[in-house]
Structure 1
Amino acid sequence: MLVFAAPTGVRSMDDSFSTRALTRLTFGPKPGEAEVLRRTGLPRWLDEQLSPADGQDEACQRSLDACRLRIKYGAGDGWTAVEEMRPLASLTKPIDDLWPLSDGKKPFAGPERQFPRLEVTAATLIRAVHSRWQLREVLVDFWHNHFNVNAGEQAVAAALPSYDRDVIRRHALGNFREFLEAVGGSGAMLVYLNNRSSRAGSANENYARELFELHGLGRDAYLNALYNKWREVPGAQAGNPAGYIDQDVYEAARAFTGWAVEDGAGLGGEQRLPATGRFVYVESWHDNYQKRVLGREFDPFQAPMDDGKRVLSLVADHPATALHLCRKLCARLLSDDPPDSLVKAAAQVWTENRRKPDQIRRVVRAIALSREFADSQASKVKRPLELVASFARATAVDFTATNGLIGELDGSGQRLFGCPPPTGYPDRNEAWLGAAAIRRRWTLLLGLAENWWKTGPLDTGLPFPGPVTAQEATDGWQRALHGAAPDPAVTQAILIGMKLDPAATLTPGAKDGDAKLRRLAAYVAMAPRFQAR
């Protein structure tokens, strides 16, 4: 039961830290979870969270099974009209079953082609609220943004359930080198960054460039403004270049020629690839001649896929990759500009464990147990997904995802799996603090509190078993949502804004009482203390 304790003055450091830790390592604490973490201890909690077992998340699975999304469209050329509520059936389907949706010549209505994106979006919201394995969900969100693909393109939408299930979720806590290969060979990424069309003699540079700039070494390691030839890059002639230049990108693009998708493309004569959406290596499309990447010579005519795999290993093992990825992880879990001491310490753990199957898990654990993590204060603005999930969790809403909520989230600036540039959505505060963005954030909270989109009613009888005064309710919501003693200034501002007498009685279960109690929850969530993590 969600019950608010009476205010006790200054909270202990342990209580404060437990709340802050859960706000960063989960999508927000549920009632009572901070106390459980305080008793259990962070190391033990991390050990459990970093070893998730899907078979032990029955409640979340029930929510996924119960979810239904509306799909509606009129009759067209080759299809009949449809209006129905559908389960999230695509989540478990192999890419072969969904790939026909990518074929523009086949008769599918537009909503059918985009429905897999809606299903993965709904599942993401449900897992963010209900999953027992919250830290994995936080990291899945991180990696989806790091390895961004835009499912607005119909072929990427068809590949998205497989990409989410078999690539991002499978490797989110694993080994980064293995992760890179899974991403590079995924239908979603091969389509999104055009590598499926890369051929010997006309190599497409898109994937290779983002592999260096975004997925691996990072922009700080791009040294083309300083050096024009590979030999000039410090350390290159010894095989350990300080960074990369355009020549590395061009050569790496050649290494990935022939990495393609079974999309029905012609192979010459009457031969064609199957149309399954699965990865395929086409030897005749590969540039087999010698190459040089990051100061390393590649002999000609290597075994199938060896050129590309070697590039992935060079990228994964480069010191700049360790720093780039660890800085991003620290920025996600601490602040926009995390301490250099923590980034370097995490990078050392990253490098020491680069051959371990649980490399990422070890790095995240080291960050979460660091002194810098313990000492840091709330400074990150929650992005819309985090805002929705944290409010639903804190208020114990029996949440489900709906078309209406997904539409509102799309308009909030964080259209899940629909970010056009490969950079993904920004993870810095200034990107989410414009006047229009803040107004959309407030709309999300008010809509959730008042159940505009049928995502689940907020049961005011859980926190308030009996009548309360308006001031008691406002203070109670602050303790629940802010994880701290009430701020009198916040209480006063909300009561004045709602024109409520502090002594006015609000009765849960009564129409007027419920309406005011729910709106109070939304307004408390609009306060800066809830907007930050």
Structure 2
Amino acid sequence: MDSEWPHRALNRLGFGPKPGEAEALRRVGLPRWLDEQLAPDTGPDDACQSALDACRLRIKYDAGEGWAAVEEMRPLASLSKPIDALWPLSDGKKPFAGPERQFPRLEVAAATLLRAVHSRWQLREVMTDFWHNHFNVYAGEQAVAAALPAYDRDVIRRHALGNFRDFLEAVGGSTAMLVYLNNRSSRAGSANENYARELFELHGLGRGAYLNALYNKWRDVPGATAGKPAGYIDQDVYEAARAFTGWAVEDGAGLGGEQRLPATGRFVYVESWHDNYQKRVLGQEFDPYQPPMADGRRVLSLVADHPATALHLCRKLCTRLLADDPPETLVKAAAQVWMDNRRQPDQIARVVRAIALSPAFADTPPAKVKRPLELVASFARATALDMTVTNGLLNEVDSSGQRLFGCPPPTGYPDRSDAWLGAAAIRRRWSLLLGLAENWWKTGALNAALPFAGPVTAAEAAEGWQRALVGGPPSADVTQAIMTGMALAPTARLTPGQKDGDAKLRRMVAFVAMSPQFQTR
């Protein structure tokens, strides 16, 4: 391993190191660090909890029909609420202003940023971010926004390092996904295919296993007659959609006559809505009239156990943790670990460990561009910024192209570097960094003297901030670019603690963070 591996590992397996953490990792070694991170205890994470407790977001709206005007600063109170406490916000007939209906999304977005910066369980935060993108829901829809705190807390976070089969069922039965992909309205005789298609194409086997262009009958798919098809076709999607009929939400819908479901927002299985007749999915025959939810659960098991799912998920994990085009040998090795551990409660953690300890992980140079969430969190951590989250910061992250929980298509945000490198996107990235350094959005004052014991020259300051942010030897090209951009002579004296010195040092750290060395991981 080269001397910069701790910095690189903490940028990939976390949101970057705080001062001193790279050296601490060098001392304990990556295996021991992974042992702790992949089995986070349930004890208090004091620094993170303090940041969550202290955060306040502004909500303001005028009086309307049925509500008074509001302008106040609110805590993140929705994070711990059960779904039935927030579900009334989804009812368009109830008198709530628009900002009230969207406030749970803002709270979860703020908590996501705060946890990325302050949590000691960095790898869990990275995996939570990964799975939110993999199992994407669009919280711009008011019912999904109301369900988002429960989805984040009870589904994504709870299963982020666990067993994928259990994870699939938690997602499939979550209110957020049932609403987003319309399965709550799926009935026998008119099964909605949205969830079933995304289960195969995005959540499970992947687009590479979609073989409908080659085969239009299930028995023609290689391996299908033996119950082990190489991939899936539209017939599998149609039949799987029938298997999930009756998986619904207590949203007040009518059951016939004068009976209605309660309006709690919780999952419910409605037997009378389920298609009980025989089915065939992935070459497997389903007998009619199975026990409640058995059809859907069997589909989930078939998807979770399919080798194409292992390859699809492990390629996505390697892409997230290493590079846009990870080595195929690593993807296949990780997929084998996935399959070997598919009955283990910590299946995902075991796969992540195998990837992190692989030679490819150590040998792959930094090239993957950080997305805006990573950029903000890694900058705050590298500069030891005691960051809070404000509406202004959330708005700026939204404008950068990564509106947290606001991606409309089920694909989620792209995880390739070129998607984040347009001219407008780069300007937004630089604005994010400069705004954090100069505290434009009242997120916290940066300590301009952090790497220095006293007065320094401009060149020494640029080099000192490069060591602090990047971890390796400073780049002469970056130093020269900063001198030119700030119109500073390399020998100019900068004194921390003085207004002019602090202003220049803060701007300098933002410029260092704009360099390719910090922008990639």
The bucket for the TM-score relative to the shorter chain is over 0.9
Match status 1:231 vs 2:219: yes
Q: Equivalents in 2 of 1:513, 1:405: separation in Å?
A: 25
- Tell me the equivalent position of 1:383: 371
Query: Which residue type is aligned with residue 494 of structure 2?
Result: L
Match status 1:450 vs 2:438: yes
Q: Equivalents in 2 of 1:317, 1:278: separation in Å?
A: 28
- Tell me the equivalent position of 1:61: 49
Residue segments in structure 1 that go unaligned for 5+ positions in a row: 1-12
Residue 56 (structure 1) shift: 3.6
Query: Which residue type is aligned with residue 51 of structure 1?
Result: A
Out of 87, 108, 130, the position equivalent to 2:118 is 130
Mapping of 1:10-21 within 5 angstroms?
13-21=1-9
Q: Equivalents in 1 of 2:386, 2:454: separation in Å?
A: 21
User: Is contact 1:69–1:403 with CA below 8 Å preserved after alignment?
Assistant: yes
Match status 1:501 vs 2:463: no
Give per-residue Cα distances to partners, 1:15-55, cap 9 Å, x unaligned: 31111111111101111111100100100000000111242
Query: Which residue type is aligned with residue 393 of structure 2?
Result: L
User: Is contact 1:15–1:34 with CA below 8 Å preserved after alignment?
Assistant: no
Q: Equivalents in 1 of 2:252, 2:32: separation in Å?
A: 50
- Tell me the equivalent position of 1:432: 420
User: Percent identity over the alignment?
Assistant: 83
Q: Equivalents in 1 of 2:342, 2:297: separation in Å?
A: 15
- Tell me the equivalent position of 1:479: 467
Give per-residue Cα distances to partners, 1:149-193, cap 9 Å, x unaligned: 000000000000000000000000000000000000000000000
Query: Which residue type is aligned with residue 426 of structure 1?
Result: P
Out of 312, 320, 327, the position equivalent to 2:315 is 327
- Tell me the equivalent position of 2:188: 200
Q: Equivalents in 2 of 1:281, 1:466: separation in Å?
A: 66
- Tell me the equivalent position of 2:23: 35
Residue 509 (structure 1) shift: 1.5
Give per-residue Cα distances to partners, 1:272-296, cap 9 Å, x unaligned: 0000110000000000000000000
Out of 298, 314, 317, the position equivalent to 2:305 is 317
Query: Which residue type is aligned with residue 397 of structure 1?
Result: L
Query: Which residue type is aligned with residue 217 of structure 2?
Result: K
2:156 counterpart SS class: helix
User: Is contact 1:15–1:35 with CA below 8 Å preserved after alignment?
Assistant: no
- Tell me the equivalent position of 1:89: 77
Q: Equivalents in 1 of 2:497, 2:359: separation in Å?
A: 46
- Tell me the equivalent position of 2:101: 113
- Tell me the equivalent position of 1:260: 248
Residue segments in structure 2 that go unaligned for 5+ positions in a row: none
Mapping of 1:465-476 within 5 angstroms?
465-476=453-464
Q: Equivalents in 1 of 2:404, 2:79: separation in Å?
A: 16
1:261 counterpart SS class: strand
User: Is contact 1:148–1:417 with CA below 8 Å preserved after alignment?
Assistant: yes
- Tell me the equivalent position of 1:3: none
2:376 counterpart SS class: helix
TM-score normalised per structure 2? 0.99
Q: Equivalents in 2 of 1:521, 1:374: separation in Å?
A: 28
Out of 406, 410, 419, the position equivalent to 1:418 is 406
Query: Which residue type is aligned with residue 478 of structure 1?
Result: Q
2:413 counterpart SS class: coil
Q: Equivalents in 2 of 1:489, 1:171: separation in Å?
A: 44
Match status 1:49 vs 2:23: no
- Tell me the equivalent position of 1:249: 237
Q: Equivalents in 1 of 2:241, 2:353: separation in Å?
A: 35
Tell which deviates more after alignment, 53-62 or 417-426: 53-62
1:15 counterpart SS class: coil
Q: Equivalents in 2 of 1:464, 1:364: separation in Å?
A: 37
Query: Which residue type is aligned with residue 431 of structure 1?
Result: A
Mapping of 1:357-372 within 5 angstroms?
357-372=345-360
Query: Which residue type is aligned with residue 496 of structure 1?
Result: T
Structure 1 runs (4+) greater than 3 angstroms displaced: none
Query: Which residue type is aligned with residue 484 of structure 1?
Result: G
TM-score normalised per structure 1? 0.97
Residue 57 (structure 1) shift: 1.1
Query: Which residue type is aligned with residue 453 of structure 2?
Result: P
Out of 292, 303, 320, the position equivalent to 2:291 is 303
Out of 414, 426, 451, the position equivalent to 1:463 is 451
Q: Equivalents in 2 of 1:146, 1:106: separation in Å?
A: 32
Match status 1:156 vs 2:144: yes
Match status 1:349 vs 2:349: no
Query: Which residue type is aligned with residue 331 of structure 1?
Result: T
Tell which deviates more after alignment, 357-366 or 453-462: 453-462
Residue 462 (structure 1) shift: 2.5
Tell which deviates more after alignment, 157-166 or 491-500: 491-500
Residue 14 (structure 1) shift: 4.9
Residue 374 (structure 1) shift: 1.1
Mapping of 1:512-527 within 5 angstroms?
512-527=500-515
1:152 counterpart SS class: coil
Out of 257, 261, 265, the position equivalent to 1:269 is 257
Q: Equivalents in 2 of 1:49, 1:381: separation in Å?
A: 24
User: Is contact 1:190–1:260 with CA below 8 Å preserved after alignment?
Assistant: yes
- How well do the aligned residues superpose, as a CA RMSD in angstroms? 0.7
Out of 200, 205, 224, the position equivalent to 1:217 is 205
Q: Equivalents in 1 of 2:456, 2:340: separation in Å?
A: 56
1:267 counterpart SS class: strand
Residue 67 (structure 1) shift: 0.5
